[in-house]
């Protein structure tokens, strides 16, 4: 019986993955190497600094921590520029209906995202009011697949892990949900989200 529902943001609520991809690709181009959509799969659900490490590993480059902070900041400024035009029309199908339905049934609704831009995005999409708790990359320090983000969200909802269901599109996120002892609904493809308890193509299917 589900008492709490914890949603990832990027790829579950809104398709920001394409903007993350464009921003990382432009950084890679500047550094002189190709960064493909296939490479980008490895960055989904992964924190900003860890994503940069993976990107640099793909390019076979090494930099100091200080240089990496500058690069991550540059990528983020470009990303924020891309998403500053977001509006409700970019909500993924079924999001509003599903979240509102859960709330009407008394299910606690939380966000569990690695993004430090989560609140900005929720405001742009005009759905901040649908969440009882928002846990993002500013609140937690351990990135998915670590369960911290979902454990914190569950705690903020006042629930136990076995009462919560996680909705995730990334492999690292599914692993984080399972590590937290929760049921996980994968959003995407079964081949990628092997560990999920159920896989659907989007919230509109539920
Ligand atoms: C989400 C996305 C990742 C992104 C991470 C950090 O998990 O799926 O692609 O790197 O958030 O986002 P941020 O907005 O803080 O750079
Ligand atoms: Mg995601």
Q: Is the pLDDT of residue 46 over 90?
A: no
Active-site residues, by number, are 8, 10
Q: Is the pLDDT of residue 21 over 90?
A: yes
- pLDDT, one tens digit per residue, over 49-59 is 999 999 999 99
Structure pTM? 0.93
pLDDT of residue 192: 87
Does residue 202 line the site of ligand 1, with CB under 6 A?
no
> Average model confidence (pLDDT) for the chain?
96
Q: Is the pLDDT of residue 1 over 90?
A: no
Mean pLDDT of 130-149: 95
Q: Is the pLDDT of residue 45 over 90?
A: no
Does residue 20 line the site of ligand 1, with CB under 6 A?
yes
CA 32 to ligand 2 center in whole angstroms: 27
| Interface ipTM | 0.97
Q: Which residue has the least CA distance to atom 12 on ligand 1?
A: 115
Does residue 75 line the site of ligand 1, with CB under 6 A?
no
Q: Catalogue the long-range contacts made by 159-164 (C-beta closer than 8 Å, 24 or more residues apart).
A: 159/3, 159/4, 159/108, 163/1, 163/2, 163/3, 163/4, 164/2, 164/3, 164/4, 164/5, 164/6
Sheet holding 164-168, edge to edge: 133-135, 108-112, 4-7, 164-168, 183-187, 198-200
Question: Is residue 196 very low, low, confident or very high in pLDDT (cuts 50, 70, 90)?
Answer: very high
- pLDDT, one tens digit per residue, over 143-182 is 899 999 999 999 999 999 999 999 999 999 999 999 999 9
- Looking only at the bridges linking them, the beta strands covering 4-7 and 198-200 are unpaired
């Amino acid at each position: 019986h589900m008492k709490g529902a914890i949603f990832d943001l990027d790829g579950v609520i809104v398709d920001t993955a394409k903007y993350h991809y464009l921003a990382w690709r432009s950084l890679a181009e500047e550094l002189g190497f190709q960064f493909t959509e296939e490479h980008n799969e490895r960055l989904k659900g992964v924190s900003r600094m860890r994503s940069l490490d993976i990107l640099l590993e793909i390019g076979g480059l090494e930099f100091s921590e200080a240089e990496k902070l500058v690069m991550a900041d540059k990528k983020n400024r470009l990303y924020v520029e891309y998403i500053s035009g977001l509006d409700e029309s970019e909500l993924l199908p079924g999001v509003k209906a599903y979240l509102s339905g859960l709330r009407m049934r008394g299910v606690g609704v939380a966000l569990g995202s690695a993004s430090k831009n989560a609140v900005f995005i929720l405001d742009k999409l005009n759905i901040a009011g649908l969440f009882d708790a928002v846990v993002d990359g500013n609140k937690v320090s351990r990135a998915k697949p670590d369960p911290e983000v979902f454990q914190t969200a569950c705690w903020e909802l006042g629930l136990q892990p076995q009462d919560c269901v996680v909705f995730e599109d990334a492999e690292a996120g599914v692993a984080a949900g399972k590590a937290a002892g929760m049921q996980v609904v994968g959003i995407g493809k079964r081949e990628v989200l092997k560990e999920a308890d159920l896989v659907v193509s989007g919230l509109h299917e539920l």
